[in-house]
Structure 1
């Protein structure tokens, strides 16, 4: 099963933006997280819609933070991405008439809802500046 790593990738990029003295291009961010610049632009557009970043077109353009990291939480970013669930596992609906499937789904649903509520609560308590602790950039160079 493929993992959804959009949240961790965006967090990675946002911390880099905080460390940068100049706007960072979509191409540079794409190389940081091994993806396509179009994916970066689409994702960063979601962050811009929430007011977390700004963009400037043209020469010397790129993306910059518009809010300090201590004003953005993991939950903010998760929500901006439009994520429905923190889990990639789901319930089965192939045998809707089977009482065993109903029992399994009911048990899993309760546990997953409980775990997700706790996780989202914790996401709301963690600001992005916490992720940058210990990260010190020796110069303005990309460090991956």
Structure 2
């Protein structure tokens, strides 16, 4: 799984798990994501270590939600799956010798810090429960 898609893919998985009766196997999750079950297990291990999911062994086992969705933010999931920096752009030469490059680097770094702070705040403000409610509303519109 590419780092830039890890958060959205794991949010996708967690919402399916929240609406699924019983545990989901790594194989089933891998088919849903179009990836390998080993990659799923490796990624889910971060969510398990954070206490958001649990793994159940044996027949009928698999991955299951282990916490209240309202207590987990999108930022929590990003951190649990070892998400990279939120913005992968930045300075090619952070310790540039050229004065022009230093000025450009300072401007870009400042903008990226501000944008990342806004994104972190937004991801921290949205819970998995809110995503689940939005999903439910979309799939079950009022009559």
Asked if these proteins are the same fold (TM beyond 0.5), I'd say: yes
Change (3 A) 1:66 1:32: same
Structure 2 match to 1:12: 12
**Structure 2 match to 1:60:** 60
Give, in angstroms, the shift of residue 84 of structure 1: 4.0
Deviation string 1:47-97 (CA, Å, 9 cap, x unpaired) is 000000000122211000001211110111111122342112121118821
Match of 1:50 in 2: 50
The residue aligned with 1:104 is 104
Per the normalisation by structure 2, the TM-score is: 0.87
SS of the equivalent of 2:133 reads: coil
The unaligned stretches of length 5 or more in structure 2 are none
The aligned residue for residue 117 of structure 1 is 117
Alpha-carbon distance change, 95 to 124 in structure 1, aligned in 2, over 3 angstroms: closer
Q: Flag the structure with higher helix content.
A: 2
Listed as ranges, the matches of 1:86-105 within 5 Å are 86-93=86-93, 96-105=96-105
Aligned in 2, Cα 1:16/1:84: closer, same or farther, shift over 3 Å? same
Q: Residues 134 and 78 (structure 1 numbering): CA distance in 2 closer, same or farther, change over 3 Å? A: closer
1:26 and 2:10 matched: no
Q: Give the aligned CA root-mean-square deviation in angstroms.
A: 2.0
Structure 1 residue runs of 4 or more that deviate by more than 6 Å after TM superposition = none
CA–CA separation in structure 2 for the residues paired with 1:107 and 1:135 = 39
Whether the 8 Å contact between 1:92 and 1:101 is mirrored in structure 2 is no
Normalised to the residue count of structure 1, the TM-score between the two structures is 0.87
Aligned pair count reads 137
